[in-house]
């Protein structure tokens, strides 16, 4: 029996993780960059290998002859974890929504464009390991790389610290965007809905005011506040004024309801 246990243990023993190929014995991320990554993602890294692997794009392996594995498997795991956390949030916060509506809401929160925006918010591109051609010649392909890496980082946090830590990260980076109005969960015209409600209840015409503009000219973020005659108001963000106004109207409707 003891011999059988040893045989099974050897059979399922994980092979040693391959390191850099001959001629390239450098670590792809130094400690200083990993510490900065910790600050960006607001998480203390325990096992560095998880995060190095999460940041490895397949093009880097070919360019540097680095004998590791790319982040594609971690992207798969992170996608599953992200969908579970977001799905649970929507299920609990929208009890009257039908299955189809919940699916649409989740899609808006976890599509490639949204994920790339979350990655950009923490400057994840500063850490992604790619070949020079991949980092400079793909145009919109950069958004896909950033989105995939964001999912891989979720997997790294999950493997390193467990599900609760992964949930906290998603809540900070994804679900907070819902609560602030930076990402809308539906295609409804919230401005029209708010106007209809306000006029039906004697609250006048909603007034929209830009309270903050952030970022460079090519990547501005607007914060808009909407107010009604009774003093109630809502605030939302967007990449343009129209999007920010819709987000502000959505928040005002939440307060009114």
15-180: CATH number: 1.10.1520.10
Among the listed residues 201, 238, 233, 205, the one whose alpha carbon sits nearest the alpha carbon of residue 219 = 238
Question: What tokens were used for 197?
Answer: 């409600």
pLDDT by 10s per residue, the chain, length 257: 555 455 444 544 444 444 444 334 345 778 899 999 999 999 999 999 999 999 998 887 765 555 568 899 999 999 999 999 999 998 998 888 888 888 888 888 899 988 998 999 899 999 998 876 655 544 556 889 999 999 999 999 999 999 999 999 999 999 887 666 556 555 557 888 888 888 888 888 999 999 999 988 777 889 999 999 887 788 988 888 888 898 898 888 887 76
Catalytic annotation, pick one of 79, 143, 243, 245? 79
Where exactly are the structural domains of the chain?
A: 15-180, 190-256
Say which of 75, 143, 148, 151 is annotated catalytic. 151
Question: Residue by residue, what is the 3-state secondary structure of 171-231?
Answer: HHHHHHHHHHCCCCCCCCCHHHHHHHHHHHCCCCCCEEEEEEEECCHHHCEEEEEEECCCC
pTM to 2 decimals?
0.64
Told to judge if 79 belongs to the known catalytic residues of this protein, a careful annotator would answer: yes
48 given a catalytic annotation: no
- Beta-ladder partners of 237: 223
Cβ-proximal residues to 16 (8 Å cutoff; 6+ apart), any chain? none
- 190-256 in CATH: which number? 3.30.160.20
């Amino acid at each position: 029996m003891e011999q059988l246990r040893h045989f099974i243990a050897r059979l399922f023993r994980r092979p040693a993780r391959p390191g850099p190929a001959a001629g390239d014995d450098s670590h792809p991320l130094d400690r200083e960059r990993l510490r900065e990554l910790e600050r960006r993602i607001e998480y203390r890294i325990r096992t560095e290998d998880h995060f190095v692997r999460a940041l490895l794009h397949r093009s880097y392996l070919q360019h540097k002859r680095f004998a590791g594995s790319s982040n594609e498997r971690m992207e798969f795991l992170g996608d599953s974890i992200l969908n579970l956390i977001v799905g649970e949030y929507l299920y609990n916060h929208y009890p009257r929504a039908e299955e189809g509506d919940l699916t649409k809401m989740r899609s808006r929160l976890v599509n490639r464009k949204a994920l790339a925006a979350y990655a950009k918010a923490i400057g994840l591109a500063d850490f992604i390991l790619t070949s020079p051609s991949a980092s400079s010649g793909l145009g919109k392909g950069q958004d896909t790389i950033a989105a995939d890496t964001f999912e891989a980082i979720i997997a790294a946090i999950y493997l390193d610290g467990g599900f609760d830590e992964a949930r906290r990260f998603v809540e900070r980076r994804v679900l907070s965007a819902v609560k602030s109005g930076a990402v809308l969960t539906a295609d409804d015209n919230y401005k029209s809905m708010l106007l209809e409600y306000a006029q039906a209840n004697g609250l006048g015409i909603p007034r929209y005011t830009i309270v903050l503009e952030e970022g460079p000219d090519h990547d501005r973020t607007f914060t808009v506040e909407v107010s009604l005659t009774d003093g109630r108001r809502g605030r939302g963000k967007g990449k343009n004024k129209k999007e920010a106004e819709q987000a502000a109207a959505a928040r005002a409707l939440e307060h009114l309801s």
